[in-house]
Structure 1
């Protein structure tokens, strides 16, 4: 028989009641904590938008969760192995009897962690080619519209507007954004993409250049400009962009992705527009030089034209040989026409004599006799036939007259056209001759310059001298110089006499020359 236990006064708990009591106790004791640890087991946000991972140190670990709403507001995203400081509340999860921290904010554990995260992100984006120099574009020389992405209430926009007013007033469009805080990166990226989405010629003009500006601050204050969303928006911008975030010593990731980095917002305003007064002075100077160059060119062309005109022959000298040939041809034409007419006349008389035997008159007489013999009817028929032939011959004669007149008119037109063609050729001859002379002059000038560049005198002008012997023959080496030999040194500005002598070697004696005296016939 077992002994019965004495009844206990302790109340009974259900599992749910105990879990709820533990949860309340833990939340009351650790309602809000800041916890430092290393991120472990992070795989990105869940499909629901929540993020689950652990925080650990060398001795312990704790589960962590970031709800979807808090995750969207984080300044930095957790990464595997990152040391962070998490701020949140401790609670339990009754479903698995474990405690966890619900994180509200997350920040790197110190500046060193931030710099390590920044360097890792810089290497990642640089490997994608977002910082490549070949992607950067030149800023427009004088933009019509300037877009500024900055806070509308800070001193930065006033400095930019004041500097633009001093240098070269331009139209400025300001896209107001927060330059610090949780929504800074998203607003700046949206502003850059918004400016790029504007259409050219629309109601709101599309800027020619963008300035992303902010004053100085700590690395935490400028962290929004190190976010990937901002860097990618800058790299994707179709409008040239100038980064002016912080002071000269402050560097952010958009400084690497931008087309140009300015040390300060005021420096960005100086980069995008020139100084109006200096630009006007430069334009005036160029205009003055252009006018002077044009005047010099006109004077030189006028002188060249006068020289060319003096070298050209006169129209009388050009047309005199042609006119003389025309007169000679006209002189020969009339006798040739007369001879031609006499030859045709002789051939015509010969034909007339040959046709006399078979002339129409003789034929008519014979036919009349035959008609008389046969009676009046054949005669009448013959008369009618003759009348018809006569009328036909008259018509042929009239057509021949018309043909002759048409032939004469065509010949006159041909002669007029030939005369007109001769005049046009004469009009083109003068300019063509002038152009040919100009081309020959240019070619002669080019050959002269080439000759001067290849002449040995250009070498003498650089300080060299040409050594000749007494006969004027050039000496190319020291071995060709004899001791005591008379030399002539030719410089660029004249000649000088000298006596040859070898240094450091045995003197060489000149060989005697054989001189033939032609008149006396003696050999020396």
Structure 2
């Protein structure tokens, strides 16, 4: 049986895949596709992001390359309806077509509100918004931590209002309050303040304020991030949420301990007015003084009334007894004085001159004993010091160069008395002084370098008295050894 012949062209798989790829890319180019994100699991380890866009009847694979993902103003989230802008292409490796996304935006406010409501229900079910988790704010904090942008008008308004009401120490944790990194940075700021240890180099805040100015739902979306809500709910420091205007609500408002309508309102909630506190204290002090005066006056009146109502016979007898005791007081004092005088005379009569002489003798003997002990102690101390001085003198003789001269050596000096340890230091015509053990000889006016030359002038100094040579003892341990004579 012969094979049927055909005029159809023959292609390889690669050629067919390439032709389809070029056809799809040329036909569609850049497109805007609306759909719901499905299968999103976050960026891949390579940094690329893979998921799908779907509607009621179809599904379109999508990819965002790492470079484009880092520039997105809005991060993809599972179940969110978005509008993706990119180019449609194919992936020959799996024979499928896909869209390579360059930009991503939510498909209107409705899509964001639906996602926000779904997230709110989820976090409410976890108990993160329960009223029992709310902590009371301190009445007068010492340190306030603010998580916000360091360059916006919000931080200036907060600082200005705190300084007007009650100047305190304020710490600012700088974060971005808009964009794809907003949520992560705000959560890090809350956790960073909580990580500070009391009494450390950086003071730990007593209350936190998370603040941002007003904006659209997209602008405030970072404060709806789960990581921000969980950080606010876990904060051990009481937290005030001040995001947007009074009509703006975000999920961090539900997790915070207190919600402020504006950042300025957060500062007013955090600290009281110092002038009002002083006025209140003054008023309480005045009321306290007035109350005490009224109490004392009332008690005085009651006491007088009670005294007036007492029967006179009730205090007549005690008063009479008091008068009798007062009258006998003078006689009792005189009798007591006479008794003590008699006892003094009795003791004085026992004092005899012999007793006094005996006491003096005992004191004198004691003084003589102390004097003898003092003399003995002085003699012992003097002997010890004399022995120490003799030892030092012997050490001085042993270390002195005089002992070397006694062994037949001599010291040669120039005319000014400077020692000359080397022969090369002697020049012709130089005046020399030679010191022996028994005196000095001065030479000068001739060439001392010549062996045949003799002194032209000599003077003999009388020998200085020398100590009697003593037997050299071994030096104490640690004493320096004899070195060079000079």
The TM-score normalised by the length of structure 1 is 0.54
Aligned partner (choices 245, 248, 260) of residue 247 of structure 1: 245
1:482-521 equivalences in 2 (<5 Å): none
Offset at residue 287 of structure 1 (A): 0.9
Q: Name the one with the larger helix percent.
A: 1
C-alpha distance in 2 between matches for 1:4 and 1:190: 73
Structure 2 match to 1:138: 136
Are positions 1:129 and 2:138 aligned together? no
Are positions 1:179 and 2:177 aligned together? yes
Are positions 1:317 and 2:318 aligned together? yes
Deviations 1:231-274 (A, max 9, x none): 11111111111111111111111111111111111111111111
Deviations 1:397-440 (A, max 9, x none): xxxxxxxxxxxxxxxxxxxxxxxxxxxxxxxxxxxxxxxxxxxx
Structure 2 match to 1:489: none
C-alpha distance in 1 between matches for 2:320 and 2:141: 64
Residues 222/31 of structure 1: CA separation in 2 closer, same or farther (3 Å cut): same
Please state whether the residue corresponding to 1:179 is helix, strand or coil. Answer: coil
C-alpha distance in 1 between matches for 2:2 and 2:286: 125
Q: Is the 8 A contact 1:207 1:239 kept in 2?
A: yes
Structure 1 match to 2:273: 275
Residues 32/289 of structure 1: CA separation in 2 closer, same or farther (3 Å cut): same
Q: Is the 8 A contact 1:37 1:55 kept in 2?
A: yes
Residues 129/318 of structure 1: CA separation in 2 closer, same or farther (3 Å cut): farther
Structure 2 match to 1:375: none
C-alpha distance in 1 between matches for 2:4 and 2:130: 86
Structure 1 match to 2:227: 229
C-alpha distance in 2 between matches for 1:230 and 1:38: 24
Structure 1 match to 2:350: none
C-alpha distance in 2 between matches for 1:185 and 1:17: 47
C-alpha distance in 2 between matches for 1:147 and 1:44: 34
1:94-493 equivalences in 2 (<5 Å): 94-305=92-303, 311=310, 314=315, 317=318
Q: Which runs of 5+ in 1 are unaligned?
A: 324-524
Residues 29/283 of structure 1: CA separation in 2 closer, same or farther (3 Å cut): farther
Residues 3/33 of structure 1: CA separation in 2 closer, same or farther (3 Å cut): closer
Q: Is the 8 A contact 1:62 1:100 kept in 2?
A: yes
Residues 246/47 of structure 1: CA separation in 2 closer, same or farther (3 Å cut): closer
C-alpha distance in 1 between matches for 2:172 and 2:199: 18
Please state whether the residue corresponding to 1:250 is helix, strand or coil. Answer: coil
Aligned partner (choices 42, 52, 60) of residue 54 of structure 1: 52
Offset at residue 182 of structure 1 (A): 0.7
C-alpha distance in 2 between matches for 1:112 and 1:253: 17
Aligned partner (choices 39, 43, 62) of residue 64 of structure 1: 62
C-alpha distance in 2 between matches for 1:237 and 1:78: 26
Please state whether the residue corresponding to 1:146 is helix, strand or coil. Answer: strand
Deviations 1:186-206 (A, max 9, x none): 001110111111111111111
Please state whether the residue corresponding to 2:138 is helix, strand or coil. Answer: coil
C-alpha distance in 1 between matches for 2:128 and 2:15: 57
Please state whether the residue corresponding to 1:244 is helix, strand or coil. Answer: strand
Structure 1 segments of 4+ aligned residues over 6 angstroms from their partners: 3-8, 68-74
Structure 2 match to 1:389: none
Offset at residue 21 of structure 1 (A): 5.3
Q: Is the 8 A contact 2:136 2:257 kept in 1?
A: yes
Structure 2 match to 1:439: none
C-alpha distance in 2 between matches for 1:93 and 1:158: 53
Q: How many residues align?
A: 319
C-alpha RMSD of matched pairs (Å) = 3.4
Structure 1 match to 2:362: none
Are positions 1:35 and 2:33 aligned together? yes
Offset at residue 300 of structure 1 (A): 3.1
Q: Is the 8 A contact 2:209 2:239 kept in 1?
A: yes
C-alpha distance in 1 between matches for 2:67 and 2:259: 35
Please state whether the residue corresponding to 2:61 is helix, strand or coil. Answer: strand
Structure 1 match to 2:361: none
Residues 15/297 of structure 1: CA separation in 2 closer, same or farther (3 Å cut): same
Structure 1 match to 2:41: 44
Please state whether the residue corresponding to 1:293 is helix, strand or coil. Answer: helix
Please state whether the residue corresponding to 1:62 is helix, strand or coil. Answer: strand
Residues 4/167 of structure 1: CA separation in 2 closer, same or farther (3 Å cut): closer
Please state whether the residue corresponding to 1:91 is helix, strand or coil. Answer: strand
Please state whether the residue corresponding to 2:295 is helix, strand or coil. Answer: helix
Residues 66/315 of structure 1: CA separation in 2 closer, same or farther (3 Å cut): farther
Deviations 1:279-305 (A, max 9, x none): 111111011111111222233344445
C-alpha distance in 1 between matches for 2:299 and 2:66: 82
Structure 1 match to 2:78: 79
Residues 29/172 of structure 1: CA separation in 2 closer, same or farther (3 Å cut): farther
Offset at residue 3 of structure 1 (A): 9.4
Q: Which runs of 5+ in 2 are unaligned?
A: 325-486
C-alpha distance in 2 between matches for 1:275 and 1:46: 49
Q: Is the 8 A contact 1:75 1:224 kept in 2?
A: no
Residues 241/64 of structure 1: CA separation in 2 closer, same or farther (3 Å cut): same
Residues 216/17 of structure 1: CA separation in 2 closer, same or farther (3 Å cut): same
Please state whether the residue corresponding to 2:185 is helix, strand or coil. Answer: helix
Q: Is the 8 A contact 1:151 1:179 kept in 2?
A: yes
Offset at residue 306 of structure 1 (A): 5.2
Please state whether the residue corresponding to 1:153 is helix, strand or coil. Answer: coil
C-alpha distance in 1 between matches for 2:206 and 2:230: 20
